[in-house]
Amino acid sequence: MQHRKYPFIVGFLIVPLVLYITFVIWPYLQTFGYSLTNWTGESQNFKFIGLDNYTALFHDSVFRTALWHNILLLIFLPVITILLALFFAFMVNVGGRSTAGGVQGVRGAGIYKVVYFFPQVLSVAILIVLFGAVYRSDSAGLLNGILVKLHLEDANNPIEWLNDPNLVLWCLLAIQVWAGVGFYLVLFSAAMQSIPKDIYEAALLDGAGRGQTFFKVTLPLLWDSVQTSWVYISIFAMDFFALVSGLTPGTGYGGGPDHHSEVMATYLMRNFLSFGKSGYACAQGVIIMLVTLIVSAVTLRVSRRDRIEF
């Protein structure tokens, strides 16, 4: 019987493995191969140039700027998104007043979950159209209109949210936080609902406040979910192509003004499709992959802790 199970297992795994190698591993290997050439993308006539593309990348001021923007997103996007999602999940699940029925969420918790999750049903294209209206650089824009009505801004000199070098990246970050918090709220809510209510009730009986309950009970028991979420958001922060290309000024793929919202993905596409520097773009793709793998591995290593059973 033992000898029969191996052909059975191999039979189930061989097709997915072949598909994975064909459509995932092989394109990665091709990308790395092209990154060592001067390929223009228009023909198969190219020559091997070794690591020249990689050397050029780190002397490219635009690429360094794009890399720095991705690093900022890697720092702020997971922190803000996870903190807000944890806070809202805690409030809608166990943040209400303790009653005879036990620990419960705030009043209207079910409605709040639907409201917070709503941005998840919107596609990126809809987000671009929606926030294009929110960030309009005249008094007809939602933000500028509110500020003008509150007399906090001059109608003749509105804020140019997506054209201001000091604001544009943070405006994009705010969009992604708004769109992403609901998903992680639901994820953390599901994890919280698996925690026995007796643990919270025992903490309340011992005199623990909401803050102590959150940091001493909820967060340690949700750590696996937080760890996974951090890795997932970090991977997303390495992309950001759609929002930047759809909302910011610039040639072809956004990134303006003057590269102040440039990220590695937009610079890659500009080199690949607009400048005819496909080998150079492939080198950027390899760098993005390596940075993503390193960030994921470091995040998992740093955030690793003993599993708490309950």
Amino acid at the residue 79 = V
Q: What is the pLDDT of residue 100?
A: 46
Whether residue 5 is predicted with pLDDT greater than 90 in this model: the reply is no
Q: Has residue 46 got a pLDDT over 70?
A: yes
Q: Is the pLDDT of residue 53 over 90?
A: yes
Contact 204, 99 (CB under 8 A): no
Please state whether 108 falls in left (phi above 0), alpha (psi between -120 and 50) or beta. Answer: left
Q: What is the pLDDT of residues 71-81, one digit of tens each?
A: 999 999 999 99
Would you say 187 and 224 are in contact if contact means Cβ atoms under 8 Å apart?
no
Low-confidence winner among 31-40, 245-254, 268-277 (lowest mean pLDDT):
245-254
Residue 217: which of 233, 227, 206, 229 has the closest Cα?
206
CATH class (in words) of the domain with range 61-302: mainly alpha
Q: Where are the domains of the chain?
A: 61-302
Helix 124-134 and helix 168-193: axis angle, to 10°?
A: 130
C-alpha 247: how far from chain center: 17
Between the alpha carbon of residue 25 and those of residues 18, 20, 48, 231, 269, the distances in Å are 10, 7, 21, 21, 21
3-state secondary structure of 212: helix
**Looking at 66-70, 194-198, 207-211, 225-229, which range is the least confident one?**
207-211
What does pLDDT average to over the chain? 85
Tell me how far apart the alpha carbons of residues 240 and 98 are, in angstroms, rounded to a whole number: 42
- Tokens encoding 129: 């159209």
Contacts of 38 (CB under 8 A, 6+ apart): 46, 47, 49, 52, 279
